[in-house]
Amino acid sequence: MGPSPRGTSGHSITRGVSLYSFQEEFFLRTMALRDAVAAAAGMGATDIEIIPEQSIAGFPHVSDAWVAEWHGLMAEFGTRPLAYDFFLDTLLHPHRRLTHEEQVASVRRDIDLAVRLRTPLLRAIISTPAAVLRDAAPYAEAAGVKLLLEVHAPFHYQHPWVLQHLTVMDELDSPALGFMPDLGCFVERFPRVVSDRALREGARPDLVALVVGTYDAHGDTHGLMDTVTYSGGGPVDVALARQATHFTWRDPRSLLEQMHRTHHIQAKFYEMTEDGTEYSIPYDRIVDVLVEGGYRGCLSSEYEGNRHIQDAYPVDSVEQVSRQHAMFERLLQGHEDGRG
């Protein structure tokens, strides 16, 4: 069920696409599911990650016809279903939070659907309480799927919230629990698609330079909103400063800490440039770390640049994801001489 090692090659990393990447086209109905799978296959991706709440009208009621179409597409394009991203709507009702039992039931519902879609991995959204995964784990184990906590910025393996999950994982020692890092944790440079949009919306160039410069120097973003306010910045400037506190940079080697529990990776990106690199995330060093750690799993494209350019530019998610896959291929190639 896991990705298959490539025999003589020096790594065991496969390439995949999360359909999250095509949210712009799905939203505007310019691409349908078939187009998306065809596009992924066309760039040599073998693995498909799906967000059912995005791709399946009528969710959580999914017809057998829809499931049959899904598997038909996989067969037709030679791809395999790999991951299923679930949400957990603890605030479903206006005046009360879902009980623990209702939360576990929500995860079980998603496991049932994952079994139908044949996705062996489930993305547990970072907000999922450790106790909920603990109590859903036996069901997942019986179903032969894994529940993988998406470790998303600003979280990390020493964070109090993630430590609660680690405690459960240590106690339960279940093959059904693990992690799925989102590479948005490793934003080394401030994404220029974000600062460029602020400029289009009237941000002051000197304040944009201050925010970007502070972030890029990995300086103290505490008080950055205040600094922008004191400098006479307006709402757009202050919002940019706030965004600088939402991105995080940490050493990609921190991925090694839980490599034995890492079964999937969401390869978040904001902008693949024309020269084939990601503007803000150091994919070259990240891939080196993954190979060094013996990561066996998928790099699953998660394009999130559309929201930052859609106001002014046409969005071409397929082109962006294609560039990322060309980069993956180039970087993985460097490890296919058996030295990994």
Q: Which spans of this chain sit near Mn ion (rule: CB under 5 A)?
A: 182, 266
Q: Using CB under 8 A, pick the residue from 9, 164, 174, 229 that binds other proteins.
A: 229
From residue 175, alpha-carbon distances to 18, 63, 168, 298 in Å are 23, 30, 12, 18
What SS3 class is residue 142?
A: helix
Q: Which is nearer to Mn ion, 221 or 266 (CB)?
A: 266
The count of residues interacting with other proteins (CB under 8 A) is 34
Per CB under 8 A, the segment of 86-94, 138-146, 188-196, 278-286 that binds other proteins is 86-94
Per CB under 8 A, the segment of 123-131, 181-189, 214-222, 268-276 that binds other proteins is 123-131
| Least distance in angstroms from the C-beta of 86 to a second copy | 15
Give the C-alpha separation, 64 to 61, whole Å. 10
Q: Are 337 and 10 in contact (CB under 8 A)?
A: yes
Q: Are 73 and 34 in contact (CB under 8 A)?
A: yes
261-320: contacts with other proteins (CB under 8 A) = 307, 310-311
Give the C-alpha separation, 302 to 212, whole Å. 23
Q: Where are the beta strands (DSSP E) in 87-195?
A: 121-124, 146-151, 177-181
Q: Does 148 bind other proteins (CB under 8 A)?
A: no
Residues that bind a second copy (CB under 8 A): 90, 97, 126-129, 154-156, 158-161, 210, 213-214, 219-220, 222-224, 226-227, 229-232, 245, 248
Contact map string, positions 230 to 249, toward other proteins, x by CB under 8 A: x-------x-----------
State the DSSP code for 223: T
| Least distance in angstroms from the C-beta of 150 to a second copy | 12
Q: Which is nearer to other proteins, 93 or 260 (CB)?
A: 93
285 touches, from Mn ion, other proteins, a second copy, none (C-beta below 5 to 8 Å by class): none
| Least distance in angstroms from the C-beta of 180 to Mn ion | 8
266 touches, from a second copy, Mn ion, other proteins, none (C-beta below 5 to 8 Å by class): Mn ion
Q: Using CB under 8 A, pick the residue from 50, 166, 225, 281 that binds other proteins.
A: 225
Q: What sign for the dihedral angle of Cα 175, 20, 328, 336?
A: positive
Helix axes 317-333, 33-42, angle to 10 degrees: 30
253 touches, from other proteins, a second copy, Mn ion, none (C-beta below 5 to 8 Å by class): none
Helix axes 192-200, 235-246, angle to 10 degrees: 170
307 touches, from Mn ion, a second copy, other proteins, none (C-beta below 5 to 8 Å by class): other proteins
Q: Does 92 bind other proteins (CB under 8 A)?
A: yes
Give one DSSP letter per residue of 114-139, joined into a string. Answer: HHHHT-SEEEE-TTS-HHHHHHHHHH
Q: Smallest Cα–Cα separation from 131: which of 158, 107, 112, 104?
A: 104
Helices (H) and strands (E) in the chain, counts: 14, 8
Q: Smallest Cα–Cα separation from 288: which of 250, 335, 249?
A: 335
156-215: contacts with other proteins (CB under 8 A) = none
Q: Does 321 bind other proteins (CB under 8 A)?
A: no
Residues that bind other proteins (CB under 8 A): 20, 23, 26-29, 51, 53-55, 57-59, 87-95, 125-127, 225-226, 228-230, 238, 307, 310-311
